[in-house]
Amino acid sequence: MGGRLQGKHILITGAAQGIGLAMAKAFLREDAAVFLVDRDAALLAKSAKELQSIGGRLGYLPADITDAGTITTLVAQANEEIGQLNALVNNAGVNVFAEPLETTDELWNRCFDINLKGAWNCCKAVLPGLIEQGGGVILNIASTHAFTIIPHTFPYPLAKHALLGMTKSLGLEYAAHNIRVNALAPGYVSTQKVIDYWNGFADPEAAKAETMKLHPGGRIATPEEIAMAAVFMISDECPFMNATCLTIDGGLGVLQHPA
Ligand SMILES: NC(=O)c1ccc[n+]([C@@H]2O[C@H](COP(=O)([O-])OP(=O)(O)OC[C@H]3O[C@@H](n4cnc5c(N)ncnc54)[C@H](O)[C@@H]3O)[C@@H](O)[C@H]2O)c1
């Protein structure tokens, strides 16, 4: 015991795989208690079972973050199972990529319901408890899509821009309650979501090679590299970091164009 997250009781959404699962592992290793949420019930159960070997307090419940009522019930259950929540990581998100004029209302709603409203549903359910306890941390997993645009990915970047806006707004609104609200903006990370993105091209291997070539270091991030930053942002090592965003993209965002 004595890890960097000792005493933290953290709810993580979208935790069955990818960045969410890597954060769950890293948090448990730093002695946090974690409660995992994902809409993929079978994968969540499988991942939670694997995580149990690390030890520590772990709970999980399948749920869809777009269902505000379920999230309220779920937060009550998390408080019971792992202790009063004092941290939330809004990680669940989906790629919704289309041409602007081909974006149906259904695609638009799916994108904003999950990537923005889902995160708000969780904030709304957790914030009263944080206020009551006199403090806490919310970390929103945004993206470099929160600042820049990749053509043909509409309307996903709009939702990530808005998630960053929500981070700033809630960070200011609740600073006096000792609640820190920040965002983490990964660039490309090697998860299923990115593999699915490459598979959407006629030549997935060429698309993957193109992505790697874009990066100054010739590679993309691992989920574990994002999780390391999340540990820092949730911990008490950055008590005055609030209403801001940490970018982790290997330097891609400052590259004007390749030489
Ligand atoms: N992978 C990347 O390159 C990358 C880059 C920048 C930002 N991000 C962001 O990081 C987060 C995690 O991405 P990832 O690559 O690990 O994704 P992933 O697809 O590997 O995992 C996301 C998980 O979220 C769950 N989920 C999706 N919608 C949900 C809902 N409505 N309710 C509950 N669970 C839901 C999925 O079932 C899945 O298990 C997302 O917000 C994503 O936008 C990812």
Both 134 and 212 in one domain: the answer is no
Report phi then psi at 178, rounded to 5: 65, 30
74 in the same domain as 29: yes
| Residues 29 and 107 reside in one and the same domain | yes
Give the residues across from 90 on adjacent strands: 140
Same domain as 194, residue 236: no
Same domain, 89 and 215: no
Query: CA 141, CA 208: separation in Å to the nearest integer?
Result: 23
The answer to whether residues 129 and 75 touch, using CB atoms and an 8 Å cutoff, is: yes
Q: DSSP characters for 62-105?
A: E--TT-HHHHHHHHHHHHHHHSS--EEEE------EE-GGG--H
176 CA to middle of ligand 1, Å? 31
What domain count does the chain have?
A: 2
Q: What is the pLDDT of residue 1?
A: 62
Q: Do both 54 and 31 map to the same domain? A: yes
* 33 located within any domain: yes
- My answer on whether 158 and 199 are in the same domain is no
pLDDT recorded at residue 217:
94
Verify that 166 and 197 share a domain, yes or no: no
Contact 88, 138 (CB under 8 A): yes
Same domain? 212 vs 124: no
Mean pLDDT by 10 residues, the chain (259 residues): 94 98 98 98 98 96 98 97 98 97 98 98 98 98 97 97 98 98 98 93 96 94 98 98 98 89
Which residues, 6+ apart, have CB-to-CB distance to 69 below 8 Å?
none
Return the pLDDT at 95.
96
pLDDT given for residue 50 in this prediction: 97
Domain membership flag for residue 250: no
In this structure, is residue 158 part of a structural domain? yes
Which atom of ligand 1 has the smallest separation from the CA of 92? 24
Q: Go through the chain and tell me how many residues it has.
A: 259
Centroid of ligand 1 to alpha carbon of 223 (angstroms): 11
Q: Are residues 120 and 215 in the same domain?
A: no
Task: Please name every residue paired with 11 in a beta bridge, in sequence order, or none if there are none.
Answer: 35, 88
Give SS3 for 121: helix
Q: Rounded CA gap, 145 and 162, in Å?
A: 10
**pLDDT at residue 257, as a whole number:** 84
Residue 29 lies inside a defined structural domain of this protein: yes
Q: Which two tokens stand for residue 135?
A: 């403090």
In a domain, 258, yes or no: no
- Rounded to a whole number of angstroms, the distance between the first and last alpha carbons of the chain is 48
Domain range for 213: 190-220
Residues 107 and 151 in one domain: yes
Q: Does one domain contain both 168 and 201?
A: no
Distance CA 216, CA 26 (A): 27
Residues enclosing ligand 1, CB less than 6 A? 13-14, 16-20, 38-40, 64-66, 91-94, 114, 118, 141, 143, 186, 188-189, 191-194
pTM of the model: 0.98
Please name every residue paired with 58 in a beta bridge, in sequence order, or none if there are none. Answer: 34
Query: For position 50, which CATH number holds?
Result: 3.40.50.720
Q: Is residue 2 part of a domain?
A: no
Residue corresponding to tokens 């982790």: 248
248 inside domain = no
In a domain? residue 256 = no
